[in-house]
With several copies, the nearest count.
Chain A
Amino acid sequence: MGEITLRDAVTRGLTEALDTDERVFLMGEDIGSYQGPYAVTKGLLEKYGHERIKDTPISEGVVVGAAVGAAMAGLRPIVEIMTINFLLLAMDMVVNHAAKLRYMSNGQIQVPMVIRTVTGGGAQLGATHSQSLEGWFASVPGLKVAAPSDPYDALGLLRTAIADEDPVIFAEHARLYQVRGDVPDDYYAIPFGQAKVKRAGDDVTLVAYSRGVHTALEAAAILEKKGVDAEVIDLRTLRPLDTATVLASVEKTNRVIVVDEAWRSGGFGAEVASMIQENAFDSLDGPVGRVAGLEVPAPYNGTLEASALPDASQIVSTIEDIFGI
């Protein structure tokens, strides 16, 4: 057991897969000689060579598409797309190919591949580089979406992603790479569709994923001082979605806020909120609240950008507004 960063947890998951499964290889822009834009693949080229650590041209479409093809042929490609914003250039390959082939071939074809990508804002990269688009992928049948919030989950979910028989979008938040946490030496894996109660509480449920979990935990600490006992749930995977854990919590607390860094309208939080009120309407003391990104392209200026992203105080005040606590 040791404390490592989320970055190192991902690197460990990749290394382990490369060591244990010959079908696994990595592909992406600048993952090799540049050592990875976020340094997740640092040292891997030196260790595994060009056949398994493939620097690619800047061609997101064919990079994802070639991974789909390699997966069709039985390999297990792990692609790095530098940020989720650039996946816009490979949408067709993800949504109309990777996600569809199993169904359209009636199971003759499998596409076991992982697309690792960096999501989220808050690093002053401007509007083109700061989006949280994972919710779109989570709406597509045939895809799976994982978005870890800490090193333990990152490793456990990555193992499941690599072992999965379907295409998985693995969204790593740009501002979580330095988060530290304990990771056991012994093998474990985290099944998809199992949310985690990060903090138990009786008064209100905060549902979040990825960086939102940290925001929710911060809010819980503030709420505690106010005498409000929040339960924080980390969804861990957006598709499949663990509705049971969320609903059980809501039935206990009768109050719930969904935290989501994406734009509020049509963000993943909308799905979670809809699902909750559909299934637990009678348990609710008030509407399912949403704390989400404001509906603007991300501004470069740091103060402005921060004001557009959800923070703990917004969670606290939303709870106050809705539930008067």
Chain B
Amino acid sequence: MDLGNSQAVQLYEKMLLIRRFEEQSGRLYMQGKINGFLHLYIGEEAIAVGAISSLRDDDYIITHYRDHGHALARGVHPNLIMAELMGKVTGTSGGKGGSMHIFDVSKGFMGGHAIVGGQMPLAAGLALAIKYRGEDRAVLCVFGDGAVNEGSFHETMNLASLWKLPIIFLLENNLYGMGTHIERTRAGGKDIYLNADAYKIPAAQIDGMDVVAVRDSFTEALERIRAGEGPVFLEAMTYRFVGHSLQDPQSYRESAEVDQWRIRDPIDTFREASFVDGLLDDGQITRIGERVDAAISEAIAFAEQSDEPGPEALFENVEG
């Protein structure tokens, strides 16, 4: 792998942080400490980490409800996210947003959007603002294979290309929208990147289980975007190892299919490859694991010890 040692550490640590965060979130949900809907990112970590590690600090990120991974990859503090999941006043939105609506504008993290496809038109607007001001920033717009069938996808792709907006469209194709397989929802089949051609947007399909491949594709795409040449579309093939949400009985897929994909676990494979390439040694791997565990424990403790918002919060920030 074409990677420095410190980069390997960073990529691995971020992915592991997301994995452990999600595992603990799931556990806390079962304990009733997190409520509402909870969508975990387990299995897809390489995408958020590969993509976001290639961005600049002044780029925007906007994503769907399965958003913890992207927020963590962006460096939104785990304490704040966990507190939000638990509805605490210290959370990213003071407990008023919840898991599906994580925002940290100080990090250019523009949400967490729970309406399938809803973030896409907003991404066009963020990018329009960049272009209007003549800046070379970019917008990362994340969405799932299910969102592709919404009208908002079509309208956004057209506008973004027509106006040459600086957006990188990142499709997380995990083959399912909730419990329905993409072959049963999309006439064009599972190779969605082919559709970008209809909008004259350059596109590629990439391996979403390979963090380095994701990162490299992004680096290249961003050059084009910053040069003012308009949007790029990247389809990362992936799989969610767990249910759609914590409510999901997963009756729609065979466990053999899940097992097959688990073999390609993005964290295990990256750790092993890095080890083989001499980028990570046993000591580092242990220390990273310890750091991540400490960060998660801290996040949980922070969240649990935080207060709920007081009644005065109810009417705050309805209007400006």
Given the known inter-chain contacts A59-B150, A92-B118, please indicate yes or no for A35 contacting B318, CB distance below 8 A.
no
Nearest B residue to A126 by beta-carbon distance? B98
Report chain A residues within 8 Å CB of B178.
29-30, 34, 37
Quick check: is A97 within 8 A (CB to CB) of the other chain? yes
Shortest CB–CB separation between residue A108 and chain B, in angstroms?
Answer: 4
Q: Check A65 against B124 for contact (C-beta < 8 Å).
A: yes
Quick check: is B266 within 8 A (CB to CB) of the other chain? no
Nearest B residue to A82 by beta-carbon distance? B178
Q: Check A123 against B36 for contact (C-beta < 8 Å).
A: yes
Q: Check A110 against B320 for contact (C-beta < 8 Å).
A: yes
Shortest CB–CB separation between residue B37 and chain A, in angstroms?
Answer: 6
Quick check: is A128 within 8 A (CB to CB) of the other chain? yes
Give the docked Cα–Cα distance between A135 and B100 (Å). Answer: 26
Shortest CB–CB separation between residue B124 and chain A, in angstroms?
Answer: 4
Given the known inter-chain contacts A57-B186, A72-B110, please indicate yes or no for A62 contacting B36, CB distance below 8 A.
no
Taking CB atoms and an 8 Å cut-off, the chain A residues in 268-325 that contact chain B are 294-297, 299-304, 307-308
Give the docked Cα–Cα distance between A102 and B314 (Å). Answer: 13
Shortest CB–CB separation between residue A128 and chain B, in angstroms?
Answer: 5
Size bracket, chain A contacts? 35 or more
Give the docked Cα–Cα distance between A88 and B234 (Å). Answer: 29
Quick check: is A93 within 8 A (CB to CB) of the other chain? yes
Report chain B residues within 8 Å CB of A197.
none
Interface centre among B96, B105, B156, B309 (most CB of A within 10 A): B96
Report chain A residues within 8 Å CB of B117.
58
Report chain A residues within 8 Å CB of B23.
none
Quick check: is B207 within 8 A (CB to CB) of the other chain? no
Quick check: is B111 within 8 A (CB to CB) of the other chain? yes
Give 15 A-B pairs besides A73-B129, A300-B97 with Cβ atoms closer than 8 angstroms: A59-B151, A66-B121, A69-B125, A70-B125, A72-B122, A72-B126, A104-B97, A106-B94, A106-B97, A126-B101, A299-B314, A300-B95, A302-B87, A304-B87, A304-B314
> What are 11 A-B pairs with beta-carbon distances under 8 A?
A35-B251, A56-B185, A57-B158, A57-B180, A72-B126, A73-B60, A89-B151, A107-B316, A129-B37, A299-B313, A304-B313
A interface, CB within 8 angstroms of B: 25, 29-30, 32-35, 37, 51, 55-62, 64-75, 77, 85-86, 89, 92-93, 96-97, 101-110, 112, 123-129, 141-142, 144, 164-166, 294-297, 299-304, 307-308
B interface, CB within 8 angstroms of A: 35-37, 60, 62, 84, 87-88, 92-101, 103-106, 110-118, 120-130, 132, 146-147, 149-152, 155-156, 158-159, 162, 177-181, 184-186, 248-249, 251-252, 308-309, 311, 313-320
